[in-house]
Structure 1
């Protein structure tokens, strides 16, 4: 009975979070479509590679946020869950400057990119955030200096939570530790288990949990949702912790 009550409460919390997500997406889209949004043209990038470039315009940032929020919004019978969507950073193509990456004057550009990624994908793991920023600057590898630079800027503008797998950066509108809906991958944008925060794993456990089945069955269902063909021993502890959290 205690297990059933815990599962029921968690499901109600998920439904409330879905409705809040839909409302947030609608509001973001309405803001983008509002005539009050600036439509100033983006200034062309400087040809001088040593000069830091202007950050992305607010209209573009809000438009990207709205599009990703809409893609994740819940409400249709055909897609009863939110979907995980990677951030489209193409609007930053004319403002990124790899040569200025470590310059203090370039920090506003990095901060804006980080804020958009966290708003779209958050809670997002530090390693994933650094990888997104690195790829946007044309680097195939994400070295320690890049990771440290991204972390330095991200900690100034984002809330965090700490786990054994690393630091998770949270959207401005979501308090660390609060309920996070499970977001299945969209368009095969699969995430590793370690890239999903504990709160979202608990939501996944709640989604597939069946009190008539055993823990092993729940683990298999969670692994399938995560896109894993086989559940390895190294992947089990975080999933087991999520199951214990909703059944304790």
Structure 2
């Protein structure tokens, strides 16, 4: 099965083990490939909607894996029981929804060894929520596919994370907390090339917005306020670029 680069990255993050659960499984491609590639022995494919779950059931049957992958109608991890999954994948949805799923899945916090998260939006909020609730981003990576940037995180409970997993890294403490939460300590520290591409594209957009607004700022209080916000974003962006490129 030919998967997107984003899903290949998600798969590469799942730690080999006994079992995994895929939340919001859609067509069931992730659990099928996890089992097919023997990354895990068994899996649970979960979705809140009957339509996608039905498609996942068909794809699982076509792959000949119906005895190893169970489909389950579930809102988030509500129907998942402790001990049923070593790793839980939550990918392809907005950051607010991922936070809600984690909040409502507290019964799984102590038994799941690894959460593989790929927020499609509001990554800043996800990182901050993780930090405030005793989770550690052990590893993080980005991929650029079809003009869109995707981030994948290997997340553990603080007690389960090794010394490599630092949510707040001393190596990047010269940056503001907002910058580190927005762009990711691990990505900055490892000088992730895709993050650097993202930063350069964002910088170019910010410069264009600032130029367009500068002409209006004198006539509009709201425009002046927005201009100030954009200049702050540009400053943070450039500081992260300098940190990654070793320009101190």
Q: TM-score, normalised by structure 2?
A: 0.34
Structure in which a larger fraction of residues adopt helix: 1
Structure in which a larger fraction of residues adopt strand: 2
Q: TM-score, normalised by structure 1?
A: 0.34
